[in-house]
């Protein structure tokens, strides 16, 4: 099925026939999103004539009502009731104050068709396109209500945005076909898995699913979990805010009907984690984190205890479990969750957080694939992937097979002489913007503070509404000098613009009305309209390239890459030029032998990365025959050396150079 088409239809031969016609239509219109429904999604509305009707929702088009039956009066009543209910949903989420009552939009934004040619889908769609930008926006807002993709209307409003920043910030978010399918399709399997790149909306979808499950009945027990404590704390804060925003009338019964916490927990508080709760519920001996830092061990033992319970005495601990960050857990964890859950387990995970990690083939076999990154301009993402993976260089740092490239959202096209192109589909977030009018990435060969100031001045010249919070400056290098550079840069920016500066590596938080300057460790998961990445040189190490890739994708309008003028980066400049001209990555596919070498190099890197840094150094010291008395001194020097941890080649050379000295 085309992922740009979502259908939620009753059994009707003509309806299915029309759906098939839309499938054919989308082959020539691949960037259009279409929803075929008979009632508002996510709402409890039913209609007597529903089986004989079809509602077509297409962004920037009128809402099209089709009569598939022969009763004209019932069809008109169906349309009136449907619009009345849409008005109620509009009132519920405060849209009415912005888009008005049905009398304001019914005439211009809806159409009722009784006599139509099922073979002329092109004509039906074309005749109902809205030319007026204001009416287009109202149509998109109405669609968002009907598919449950509720926007914060107070923030985005109904007025047509004019500036580039406003167009992106006030974009109307609509679930795409795959996101809508996850929300509303009935899956036959007990475990439902979704995966995607960072920024594809996985956590947001889990929150929507959590809301729907919680309001389903007044008795369901749900546990929403993840590995990271910080993420668990964030989710605990987000859930009540999200429930309030979605107008959930039922009060949250914490630790009775709903748990939002990490996977492990503590022995003293059985509600503090899913493992601690299961130990309490099934009387399993609790193993402390300090004793065994091993998910595989604790959940394997837990599964053995649970499977030994007499079926007559067995009780389910939860009705539903939702899991974020799937990649942080072993398979046995999901087996335990499936065993203790009565209804469904929903699992979301990144296809890859690290562009050099091994991709388990079974990870690609999931129910819903989200490969559209809604945070980042596709051109920025293509450039970031290319720089990170070394696609513009003769020797690539990593390479994937076609299934993996597809899972990342790329279409692969092979040309002559091993030349290969990778394309990404454009996104709705940028559909109202002529992307040819601005570059989403700019490379600048200077890291001087005066150049950083000029970049900010240029941003403000394009849009004077830009605030300090709209810009982040990220220093990619990791040495003592960068903190002196940050201090000086902060002073220069404050003096020139009068802005407060947030040194995020010290504050560990975002500060209102302050420009964020940080090392890469404190901006992960955040997004800014504009990101300025500064680095002395483009390093060849895996870790550095992964950081560079990640930081370039923190922007949702434009990323600036500032490098020292001594760098030879013609290959990056040419690669970026090609992306801007063709909307595609162009590179040379490695030979089978070269791909094998790439994988072998990665295996060595990934194996060494699983050790602690202390273990890594000890092995090198042993290998090089370094005396025990010299090791501590060399370690102290290594701390301040500009050498990336686990870089075996450079670390070995450095140790050898110090061996005789000490």
Report the CATH number that the domain containing residue 273 is assigned in CATH: 3.40.50.300
Same domain as 524, residue 384:
yes
Q: How far apart are CA 433 and CA 386, in angstroms?
A: 24
Listed range (4-8, 19-23, 71-75, 441-445) with the worst mean pLDDT: 4-8
349 band by pLDDT with thresholds 50, 70 and 90: confident
Residue 257 placed within a domain: yes
Q: What is the pLDDT of residue 539?
A: 86
- Cα first-last separation, the chain: 67
**Tokens 């987000």 belong to which residue?**
238
pLDDT, one tens digit per residue, over 168-215 is: 788 888 888 888 888 888 888 999 998 877 767 788 899 999 999 999
Same domain, 521 and 398: yes
| pLDDT beyond 70 at 647 | no
Tell me the C-alpha distance between 531 and 389, whole Å.
20
What's residue 90's pLDDT? 94
pTM, two decimals, is: 0.77
- Strand ranges (DSSP E) for 536-599? 555-563, 584-588
Which two tokens mark 337? 């969750």
290 by Cβ neighbours in 10 Å (0-12 / 13-18 / 19+) ranks as exposed
**Residue 347, pLDDT above cutoff 90:** yes
Res. 478 pLDDT band, cuts 50 70 90: confident
pLDDT of residue 629: 76
Summarize the confidence of residues 2-14 as an average pLDDT: 76
Residue 83: HSE in the Cβ half-sphere, 13 Å Cα cutoff = 23
pLDDT value at position 580? Answer: 92
Which structural domain, as residue segments, surrounds residue 332? 179-370
What gap in Å lies between CA 214 and CA 224, rounded to an integer? 11
Q: In terms of domains, do 198 and 290 share one? A: yes
Express each pLDDT in 103-128 by its tens digit. Answer: 889 999 999 999 888 888 899 999 99
Q: pLDDT category, 605, cuts 50, 70, 90?
A: low
**145 and 184 co-located in one domain:** no
Cα gap 65→640, rounded to integer Å: 68
Quote the strand ranges of 432-497, DSSP E.
441-444, 471-475
Asked if pLDDT for residue 346 goes beyond 70, the answer is yes
CA dist 274 and 256 (Å) reads: 13
- C-alpha 97 chain-centroid distance: 31
b/e map 298-315, b = 16+ CB within 10 Å: bbeebbeebeeeeeeeee
Return d(Cα 385, Cα 550) in angstroms, integer: 9
Cβ neighbours of 621 (radius 10 Å): 17
Most confident option among 18-32, 197-211, 554-568, 623-637? 554-568
User: What is the rounded CA–CA span in Å between residue 221 and residue 223?
Assistant: 7
Top mean-pLDDT range of 152-161, 277-286, 367-376, 613-622: 277-286
Q: Using the Cα atoms of residue 632, residue 617, residue 288 and residue 254 in order, give the sign of their dihedral.
A: positive
Nearest-angstrom CA–CA distance, 332 and 330: 6
What pLDDT score was predicted for residue 427? 62
Q: In a 10 Å sphere around its CB, with 0-12 CB exposed, 13-18 middle and 19+ buried, how is residue 41 labelled?
A: buried
- Of 214-223, 322-331, 585-594, the one with minimum mean pLDDT is 322-331
pLDDT, average across residues 482-486: 88
pLDDT in tens, 383-413: 999 999 999 999 898 999 898 888 788 899 9
Closest CA relative to residue 126, chosen from 111, 114, 138, 147: 111
Examine residue 168 and state whether it is found in any structural domain, yes or no. no
- Residue 429: pLDDT above 60? no
134 and 193 in one domain?
A: no
| Gap between the Cα atoms of 428 and 147, Å rounded | 16
Looking at residue 607, its pLDDT comes to 53
Residue 43 near residue 89 (C-beta atoms within 8 A): yes
Q: According to the model, what pLDDT value does residue 546 have?
A: 85
Pick 45 or 228 by higher pLDDT. Answer: 45
Range 273-298 average pLDDT: 88
Q: What is the DSSP letter of 147?
A: T
In a domain, 598, yes or no: no
The whole-number pLDDT of residue 321 equals 97
Sign for the CA dihedral angle at 376, 380, 383, 388 comes to negative
CB environment 555-585: b (16+ within 10 A), e (fewer): bbbbbbbbbeeeeebebbeebbebbbeebbb
Give the rounded distance of the alpha carbon of 461 from its chain centre: 31
Q: Are residues 31 and 99 in the same domain?
A: yes
Are residues 388 and 365 both part of a single domain?
A: no
Please indicate, yes or no, whether residues 274 and 125 belong to a single structural domain of this protein: no
Pairing of strands 419-423, 584-588: antiparallel
Neighbours of 395 (CB within 10 A): 11
Q: What is the DSSP letter of 218?
A: S
| Range of lowest pLDDT (162-166, 365-369, 471-475, 592-596) | 365-369
Contacts for 294 with CB less than 8 Å, ≥ 6 apart: none
Q: Which of 313-322, 551-560, 619-628 reaches the highest mean pLDDT?
A: 313-322
Quick check: 340 and 393 in contact, CB under 8 A? Answer: no
Q: Are residues 88 and 127 in the same domain?
A: yes
Of 370, 405, 425, the last residue of a domain is: 370
- Residues found in the chain: 662
Kindly state the average pLDDT of the residues 315-324. Answer: 96
pLDDT category, 635, cuts 50, 70, 90? confident
Looking at residues 466-495, what average pLDDT do you find?
A: 90
Report the alpha-carbon distance of residue 275 to residue 302 in Å, rounded.
8
- pLDDT of 436 reads 64
* Average pLDDT score over residue span 255-274: 93
Q: Comparing C-alpha atoms, which of 212, 179, 173, 210 is closest to residue 42?
A: 212
501 domain-assigned? yes
High-pLDDT (> 90) share of the chain, %: 48
3-state class percentages of the chain: helix first, strand second, coil last, to nearest 5: 45, 15, 35
Q: How high is the pLDDT of residue 244?
A: 93
pLDDT in tens, 28-70: 887 788 999 999 998 889 898 988 899 999 999 999 999 988 8
Given a contact cutoff of 8 angstroms between Cβ atoms, the answer to whether 144 and 158 are in contact is no
Residue labelled with tokens 């065994």 = 292
Q: What are phi and psi of 191, to 5 degrees?
A: -95, 125
Cβ-contact 268, 259 below 8 angstroms? no
Question: What pLDDT shows up at residue 185?
Answer: 85
* Res 94: pLDDT: 93
- Stretch (H or E) spanning 347: strand 341-350
Q: Is 630 exposed, middle or buried (0-12, 13-18, 19+ CB in 10 A)?
A: middle
Q: Assess contact for 395 and 589: CB atoms under 8 A.
A: no
Distance CA 90, CA 144 (A): 10
Asked if residue 121 and residue 10 are part of one domain, the reply reads yes
Residue 68: other Cβ atoms inside 10 A: 22
Asked whether residue 217 falls in the same domain as residue 111, the answer is no
Q: In this model, does residue 132 exceed pLDDT 80?
A: yes
**How wide is the angle at C-alpha 484 spanned by C-alphas 480 and 486, nearest 5°?**
110
172: in domain: no
Q: What is the mean pLDDT of the chain?
A: 86
Whether residues 69 and 21 fall in one domain: yes
Number of independent structural domains in the chain: 4
Average pLDDT for 652-658: 79
């Amino acid at each position: 099925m085309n992922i740009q088409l979502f259908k939620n239809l009753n059994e009707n031969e003509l309806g299915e026939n029309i759906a098939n016609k839309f499938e054919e239509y989308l082959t020539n219109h691949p960037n259009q999103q279409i929803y075929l429904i008979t009632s508002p999604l996510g709402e409890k509305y039913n209609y007597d004539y529903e089986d004989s009707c079809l509602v077509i929702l297409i962004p920037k088009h009128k809402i099209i009502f089709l009569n598939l039956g022969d009763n004209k009066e019932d069809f008109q009543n169906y349309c009136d009731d449907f619009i009345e209910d849409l008005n109620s949903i509009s009132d519920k989420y405060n849209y009415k104050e912005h888009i008005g009552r049905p009398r304001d939009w019914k005439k211009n934004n809806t159409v009722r068709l009784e006599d139509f040619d099922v073979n002329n889908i092109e004509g039906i769609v074309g005749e109902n396109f809205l030319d007026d930008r204001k009416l287009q926006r109202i149509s998109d807002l109405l669609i968002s209500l009907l598919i449950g993709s509720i926007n914060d209307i107070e923030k985005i409003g109904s007025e047509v945005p004019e500036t580039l920043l406003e167009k992106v910030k006030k974009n109307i978010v609509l679930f795409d076909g795959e996101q809508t399918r996850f929300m509303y399709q009935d899956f036959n399997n007990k475990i439902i898995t979704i995966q995607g790149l960072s920024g594809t909306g996985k956590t947001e979808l889990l929150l929507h699913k959590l809301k729907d499950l919680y309001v389903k009945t007044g008795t369901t027990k749900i546990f929403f979990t993840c590995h990271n404590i910080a993420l668990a704390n964030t989710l605990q804060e987000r859930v009540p805010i999200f429930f309030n925003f979605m107008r959930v009338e039922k009060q949250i019964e914490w630790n009775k009907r709903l748990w939002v916490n990490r996977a492990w927990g503590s022995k003293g508080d059985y509600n503090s984690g899913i493992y601690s709760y299961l130990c309490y519920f099934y009387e399993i001996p609790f193993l402390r984190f300090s004793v065994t830092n091993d998910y595989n061990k604790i959940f394997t033992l837990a599964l053995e205890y649970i499977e030994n319970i007499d079926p007559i005495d067995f009780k389910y601990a939860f009705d539903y479990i939702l899991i974020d960050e799937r990649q942080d857990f072993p398979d046995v964890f999901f087996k335990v969750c499936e065993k203790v859950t009565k209804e469904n387990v929903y699992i979301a995970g990144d296809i890859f957080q690290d562009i050099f990690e091994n991709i388990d083939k079974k990870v690609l076999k999931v129910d819903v694939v989200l490969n559209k990154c809604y945070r980042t301009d596709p051109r920025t993402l293509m450039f970031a992937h290319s720089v990170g993976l070394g696609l513009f260089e003769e020797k690539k740092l990593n390479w994937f097979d076609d299934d993996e490239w597809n899972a990342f959202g790329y279409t692969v096209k092979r040309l002559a002489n091993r030349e290969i192109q990778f394309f990404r589909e454009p996104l709705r977030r940028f559909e109202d913007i002529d992307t040819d009018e601005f570059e989403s990435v700019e490379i600048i060969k200077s890291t001087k503070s005066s150049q950083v100031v000029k970049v900010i001045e240029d941003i403000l010249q394009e849009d004077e509404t830009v605030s300090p919070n709209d810009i982040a400056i990220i220093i990619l290098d990791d040495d003592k000098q960068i903190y002196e550079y940050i201090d000086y840069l902060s002073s220069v920016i404050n003096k020139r613009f009068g802005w407060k500066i947030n040194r995020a590596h010290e504050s560990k938080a975002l500060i209102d009305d302050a420009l964020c300057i940080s090392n890469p460790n404190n901006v992960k998961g955040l997004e800014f309209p504009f990101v300025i990445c500064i680095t002395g040189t483009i390093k060849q190490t895996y870790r550095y390239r992964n950081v560079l890739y990640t930081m370039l994708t923190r922007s949702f309008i434009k990323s600036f890459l500032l490098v020292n003028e001594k760098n030879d980066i013609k290959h990056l400049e040419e690669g970026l030029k090609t992306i801007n001209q063709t909307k595609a990555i162009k590179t040379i596919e490695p030979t089978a032998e070269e791909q094998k070498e790439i994988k072998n190099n990665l295996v060595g890197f990934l194996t060494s990365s699983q050790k602690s840094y202390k273990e890594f150094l000890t092995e090198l010291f042993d290998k090089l025959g370094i005396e025990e008395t010299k090791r501590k001194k060399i370690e102290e020097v290594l701390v301040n050396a500009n050498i990336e941890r686990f870089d075996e080649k450079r670390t070995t050379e450095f140790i050898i150079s110090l061996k005789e000295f000490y």
